[in-house]
A and B are shown apart, each in its own frame.
Chain A
Amino acid sequence: MNCKQFELRLDDYLDHELFPGEAIDADAHLKQCPACQTRVERARTLQHMLKEIPTPPLRSGFAREAIARATGSDGKKHQRRGFVAGFSTAIAASVALMAVITLLPHSLPEQLAPVEIAQVAISLEQTQTVNLVFNTAQALDGATLTIALPANVEVPGLPGQRTITWQTNLQAGKNILPLPLKGLRRDEGELLASIEQDGKIKSVRVHISVGKTLQPQARLHALHSA
């Protein structure tokens, strides 16, 4: 057996699945080949490490709560997702949720000022990325995020879709959602971004002007091309 042949049988060798004859050949090769010895040692280490990858322990009470929810024994209607025990008290006590909006195409904002209503200007027929920054005091698991778009913009790839809803987890601190928006028509509009968790909703409005607040150069360019 040579190195190439040994390498092909490495996993069978590790799993003790070689035929007896092959196993003898493999051992003989291994005895005189430091390269394959290293190969085996590394592969064994890897297999050992795979078994060590941790999982967070199952939250105590989860099994009971989840089964009660599934059977309706908890007296509540099924919530499809976003179920985190103790969340309602946690959110009431300490979550300060705000949206920070900046407009910086293709880059993350360096400085963020919290505002309730943000202003964003987008050029007509162009796609610009609006970074919606959700700042939370603590992690929000299984929150429902909804973006309701005004008629003057759309998300490229989702033509005609006015509302985008999905489930996500927000980590404590800044969570940045780069939202690509394409200016559809010269108009004013208001985007509404909401986060819902356990019946509680936080929203932020973003005022969006399309094709109006152009940069001087862009305006000049627009005049020229008009």
Chain B
Amino acid sequence: MLFSLFSRKKRIDADSFEALVSPHVEQLYRLAYRYTGQQADAEDLVQDLLIKLYPRTPELQQVGQLKPWLAKSLYYLYVDRYRSQKRSPIEFGQEHDIEAATANSNHQGELSPQRQDTIRDLQRAIDHLSDEHRILILMHDVEAYTLTELESILETPLGTLKSRLHRGRAKLRKLLEEGTFPASQA
């Protein structure tokens, strides 16, 4: 008896959790992919986030703007993991998953081989940025989060974000000019 009550309560929680988060899973996955560059890592990160958030369902129900709130939780989870990864002395040298992305994405067919090369160069250049610049460019310029949203997600003042964004872009342009990025031909 006790068991069945418990499981019914659990079912209700599970349903409200699903209703709350399921509209955001795709966007979280995209962000996670931006951070990690690997499809499997992105799925892992989102899975971990959901596992962490489920016990906090009542708190989630109180959140007004769930999209930036979830993006923030994902960001901090990523930062935690990234830091622990950096401590690991041994890592596989992994190339960015750009092949899989260009091969499977919705852009398929639109992207010429040259364009794919250019995007690969661009991705490499982004990977060379400091994490601070990289995250901001990925979230703002790639995923189109506004600076106002990012102010709360990254817990950083607007002015700081803006100058950081400009420095990051300048650095990116410099990297691409030094490299083989054919921006003017694109």
Chain A residues within 8 Å of B, Cβ to Cβ:
11-12, 38, 41-43, 45-47, 49-59, 62-64, 66-67, 69-73, 78, 80-84, 141-142, 155-158, 164, 166-169, 171, 175-179
Contacts and interface: CB of A to CB of B under 8 A. Distances in A.
B104 A83 contact: no
A28 B103 CA distance: 44
A166 to B, nearest CB: 6
Contacts of B165: 11
Majority SS at the chain B contact face:
helix
A70 B143 CA distance: 26
A64 B26 CA distance: 11
A166 B88 contact: yes
Contact of B89 (A49, A157, A175): A157
B47 A70 contact: yes
Given A12-B166, A56-B33, A179-B90, 16 more contacts: A38-B184, A46-B183, A54-B105, A55-B34, A56-B104, A57-B105, A58-B25, A66-B43, A67-B22, A67-B50, A69-B51, A70-B47, A70-B51, A72-B14, A83-B44, A158-B89
B176 interface: yes
A155 B106 contact: no
B43 A83 contact: yes
Contacts of B51: 69-70, 78, 80
Interface string B18-57: 1001100110011001100011110110111011011000
Contacts of A80: 48, 51
A162 B61 CA distance: 45
B70 interface: no
Interface residues of B, number: 63
B184 to A, nearest CB: 6
B183 A67 contact: no
B79 interface: no
B119 A45 contact: no
A91 to B, nearest CB: 14
B73 interface: no
A11 B119 contact: no
Interface in B84-122: 88-92, 94, 97-98, 100-107, 111, 115, 118-119, 122
Nearest to B186: A45
B89 A71 contact: no
Contact of B25 (A50, A67, A169): A67
Contacts of A59: 39, 43
Contacts of B105: 54-57
Interface string B125-145: 000000000000100011010
Contact of A47 (B90, B98, B107, B141): B141
Contacts of B183: 42, 45-46, 49
Given A42-B173, A70-B47, A56 B17 contact: no
